[in-house]
Amino acid sequence: MPFVTLGGITLHHRYVEANGKTPAVVFINSLGTDFRIWDQLLSELDGEMPLLVYDKRGHGLSDIGDIRSIDDHVDDLIGLIDHFGLDRLVLCGLSVGGMIAQGLYARRPEIVAAMILCDTAHKIGTAESWNARIATVQANGIRAVADAVLKVWFTPPFHSERQPELDGYWNMLTRQALPGYIGTCMAVRDADFTETARRIAVPTLCVVGDQDGSTPPDLVRSLADLIPGARFEIISDAGHIPCVEHPAALVALIRDFVASLPSGETHG
């Protein structure tokens, strides 16, 4: 399993090279998950374009570290990108991953060819809602919120028809490191990328599941409205994690979007 230590933080990652001139696509996962949520997309896109996935700090097999803000996650991602010498890339961030993508764009816009902001927003939730979740998790652990979280991650048919997968994702969520989960909750609570979104000047695709209970379609549309020229797409019959629930639909959007990029923006 590939690991690299950058700035004192060891990150678990996977980098898949590819021939051609398409930029690398960097996938940034959501709160309480690790990079396995992208497995189906990597299987489908393998060989078509360079692909990079990683466990952000506090998640999966990466170090927990100290999480004070989204900038800590951005620091790690910049280090990983520089480690592989990637100078032009497409950022594909889900939920908090989309906030990390926006934070990276604010710091290093010259390396970003395009953005795919999936089930995310410029501002997610309220201080009150995040503080309530943090207090519950601090007192009773992630298991205390897991059932409620999975209800917004996946649609009712997923819950009723895909029980083994549901069990697996419940395990993934509840086995995350408590300090990493709480620290990232705090980082999301305190993040506001409204002004950053208005300054995004690269092709951007905003995607959301039609039944996302965490970042609903209207919220994601409000992000798209902030970004000049952004494209907005809804994935039918999907909750907060379409890359698990309907990976083929997201793969099709990614392929179409990357193929549409101006030729001057498709070198890696």
Q: What is the pLDDT of residues 226-267, one digit of tens each?
A: 999 999 999 999 999 999 999 999 999 999 999 999 865 433
Q: What is the residue type of 156?
A: P
Beta-carbon contacts of residue 44 (< 8 Å; ≥ 6 apart): 247, 248, 251
Alpha helix segments (H runs only) across the chain: 39-45, 70-83, 96-107, 127-140, 143-153, 156-161, 163-174, 178-190, 194-198, 217-226, 242-245, 247-260
User: Model confidence at 201, in pLDDT bands (50, 70, 90)?
Assistant: very high
Q: What is the pLDDT of residues 30-53, one digit of tens each?
A: 999 999 999 999 999 999 999 999
The full length of the chain comes to: 268
DSSP lists the bridge partners of residue 235 as 209
User: Model confidence at 21, in pLDDT bands (50, 70, 90)?
Assistant: confident
**pTM, whole model, 2 decimals?**
0.96
Q: Which CATH class is domain 3-265?
A: alpha beta
Could you give the CA distance from residue 191 to residue 134 in angstroms, rounded to a whole number? 15
Helix %, strand %, coil % of the chain (to 5): 50, 15, 35
Beta-carbon contacts of residue 225 (< 8 Å; ≥ 6 apart): none
Could you give the CA distance from residue 22 to residue 208 in angstroms, rounded to a whole number? 24
Could you give the CA distance from residue 91 to residue 98 in angstroms, rounded to a whole number? 8
- What was the pLDDT predicted at 266? 39
